[in-house]
Structure 1
Amino acid sequence: MLELLGLDAEAEAVYRLMLVNHHWGVAELARRLSFREPTVRAALERLADLRLLHRSRADADLRPVDPKVGLRDLLSKQESELQRKKRDFDRCEAALTSLLGEYSDLYTGSVQRYAEQLIGIDAVQERIQELAASATTECLTFNPGGAQSEASLNASKPLDRDVIARGVRMRTVYLDSVRNDAVTNDYAVWLTELGGEVGTVPSLPLRMLLIDREIALVPVDPENTRKGAVQLTGPGPVAGLVALFDRVWAAAVPLGTGPERDERGLTRQEQELLRLLSSGLTDAAAGKQLGLSLRTVRRMMADLMERLEARSRFEAGLRAGQRGWL
């Protein structure tokens, strides 16, 4: 309990017992505390060093100092030591601040910064407008999250119109789930009539904007895009994101095209749902990834189970594997 004052557990126990009876010697203290005698002697030496024991003039016995005096004195010493350390820390902090101020210009001049964090949705939207206005060749976008709100799509139209009018190629990837949303489909038709390109895939890894294959904007937290975004300009990270976009775009289906089914009769969305569920995701998590409601996911899964002639999810997984659906 009193370790901060320099007292270990053995010394504290000996001191407490001596306050009750200071006439007990080493042997009696050891017996009462179930300590070995060398342990008691070491504790007595420690207490003497801390000036919690003193020798009386009348005899040679060690007597405990009144704790109101002895412990208060130890506390004062600790306080003085903390104040000394605080002064040392303040001097160190001042020296560090001076050093950083002296060399920061040299450091930032020799190392190019490739990332900038934008805090909050307002800062992100403002930066998107700035980047779109500065685009000269391409605007590439991943838009996960399912159907877009009519207000959001209408708000983006003036910017989209301006970008395409300047001859900038605009390609946007949505989730397949937006095919069931009239508002998003109407917007896609409007965009393609202007010269934009829209495709869909079953799932997307994250929300992303790429400008001229040189600047990338990605969310700080993919689960909550309102927290802000990070703007990347480093050649390495941006090249990796561009390659990701190109790969996803190659697999995207134009929004005006009907959903394709493979030779097993599965749509890409159904294939992705089976993959997500088999990897351990819950219905809700898989639905979020696909931009589908929980009700829709369960309806799709019920349909798949019926086609597989399975009575349980476990049996459906086995049959899907046997048929090569996974």
Structure 2
Amino acid sequence: MTTAALPRIGLAPGVDPSDDVRPDDHTAALYRYALRRGELGPLDVAAAELGAPTGALLVAATRLVELRLLTTDTAAGGRLVPTPPEVATDLLVAPVERAIYRRRDLADQLRDSIRAVTAPDGEDTAPHGELDTLTGGAEIRGLFKLATETCRRELVVLRPGHGPEAVIDDLLDPCFEALERAVPTRILAPHRSRTGFATRARAARLAASGAEIRTLSEVPRAAVVFDRSTAVLVDLTEHGEPTARRVRDADVVGFLLELFDQLWADATPFGSDAAGYADAADDLRRSLARLMAEGHTDEVVARRLGMSVRTCRRHIAGLLQELDAVSRFQAGVRAADRFPLTAAGQPASGA
């Protein structure tokens, strides 16, 4: 089956595609069917296999084309073949995200122009310390896409371990397009990036693309700095839309970079070497013992270290056994004797 056999569904400018193209059970079933076969094929065959009316599948196929989940393979005679969801999303959603941010950027430019005209003589019209707040994944990704397109000298990324990981990765993905242009990129991630299969595979792909990655037991929050001139701080919650603040004040951006460099100096390089794993494991035990000694609950310790409470309790049990301790307090005391409760190279509190 080819796109020529499908009626076109026109979407009026400014209309949300979901208003006209609303997926249903037939649409989802037909997409899974195309994935299994590697192509759509004749609709009457699909109808017989899926037990659905041919007319309903025709509408479903049209919706899949509009959603870019089916595309024409010109090398295969114009057959309709399934598209991976991430590719379809980039084709359909990325232009919308860019348009959203461009409108916000235009509003900023107009605001700055008005300020420049109306400000008293001699008054500095630069937006020192001004924060630009964005709400929702579409606006944040739009900002990241445009900022990445103009990034040339350096990209710095803080990728925390706490919060909804799928949301974090989805928001940060556009930033890593800078690697395609060989922009120097440094990424700080939590130690857990070394252990989980998905997170380790992701980190390995970024490293293979040229990113320099180091890990810490605690990464405080999600943030990105472009060309040492623009910083974006991202706030994430388990429920509700993410928000971000764009900062262009030179002093604030400089402070964030100094903080990043301090964390970077004490972080462990990501790699396959055994020494790196040993350093990361020691740092994790050190941080775990420190938080236990400070009297934090399992939930707080887990959140600070970017892991689930269940995983955190498993690490705590292992540390108690390793230190032959019967209580968290005793573990903290024995851990202080076994190894310093500060990272290597850092002075203890009050030193």
What CA RMSD, in Å, does the superposition of the two structures yield over aligned residues?
Answer: 3.3
Partner secondary structure for residue 119 of structure 2: helix
* Residue 274, structure 1, aligned to residue 289, structure 2: yes
Report % sequence identity.
26
**1:130: which partner in 2?**
146
Equivalent residue letter for 2:147 = L
Equivalenced residue count is 223
Which residue number in structure 1 is paired with residue 320 of structure 2? 305
* Contact 1:144/1:174 (8 A) holds in 2: yes
Alpha-carbon distance in 2 for matches of 1:133, 1:103: 27
Q: Report the Cα offset of residue 242 of structure 1.
A: 0.6
| Corresponding residue to 1:240 among 255, 265, 269 | 255
Normalization by structure 1: what TM-score? 0.60
**Structure 1 residue 166: deviation in Å?**
2.1
Q: Return 105-114 or 194-203, whichever deviates more.
A: 105-114
Shift of 1:126: 1.2
Q: In the alignment, which of 174, 196, 202 is matched to residue 211 of structure 2?
A: 196
- Superposed CA deviations along residues 75-109 of structure 1, whole A, max 9, x for unmatched, are xxxxxxxxxxxxxxxxxxxxxxxxxx999921696
Does structure 2 conserve the Cα–Cα contact (< 8 Å) formed by 1:147 and 1:178?
no
- For the 8 Å contact 2:145–2:174, the answer to whether it is kept is no
How far, CA to CA, are the matches of 2:284 and 2:173 in structure 1? 28
The 5-angstrom pairing of residues 67-216 of structure 1 reads 105-106=118-119, 110-113=124-127, 114-145=130-161, 160=176, 162-216=177-231
Q: Give the structure 1 partner of residue 301 of structure 2.
A: 286
> Is 1:295 paired with 2:295?
no
Q: Hey, what does 1:57 align to over in structure 2? A: none
Q: Is the 8 A contact 1:149 1:183 kept in 2?
A: no
Q: Give the CA deviation at 1:150.
A: 7.0
Tell me the SS of whatever aligns to 1:172: strand
Distance 1:125 1:155, change over 3 A: closer
Q: What is the CA distance between 1:321 and its match in structure 2?
A: 2.9
Change (3 A) 1:121 1:253: same
Aligned residue runs from structure 1 range 7-22, under 5 A: none
Please give the secondary structure, in 1, of the residue aligned with 2:334: helix
Q: Report SS of the residue matched to 2:179.
A: helix
Structure 1, unmatched stretches of 5+, are 1-100
The SS at the match of 1:164 is helix
Change beyond 3 A, Cα 1:313–1:140: same
Q: 1:103 to 1:135 in 2, by over 3 A?
A: closer
C-alpha distance in 2, partners of 1:118/1:156? 15
Aligned partner of 1:144: which letter?
P
Q: Which moved more, 1:120-129 or 1:207-216?
A: 120-129
**Letter of the structure 1 residue corresponding to residue 290 of structure 2:** R
Q: C-alpha offsets along residues 121-141 of structure 1, whole Å, 9 cap, x if unaligned?
A: 321121111111110111110
TM-score normalised by structure 2 residue count:
0.56
1:120 and 1:236 map into 2 onto residues whose CA distance is 27
Q: Is the 8 A contact 2:159 2:189 kept in 1?
A: yes
CA distance in 2, matches of 1:144, 1:242: 16
Greater Rg over alpha carbons, structure: 1
User: Are the structure 2 counterparts of residues 127 and 272 from structure 1 closer, same or farther at C-alpha, using a change threshold of 3 Å?
Assistant: same
Unaligned runs of 5+ in 2: 1-113, 342-351
Moved more, 187-196 or 221-230: 221-230
Give, as a single letter, the amino acid of the residue that structure 2 aligns with 1:110.
D
Change (3 A) 1:105 1:290: same
Which residue of the partner structure matches residue 317 of structure 1? 332
Pairwise CA distance, 1:176: 0.2
Q: Distance in 1 between matches of 2:227 and 2:203?
A: 22
1:295–1:208 CA distance, 2 compared to 1 (3 A): same
Q: Which amino acid aligns with 2:317?
A: A
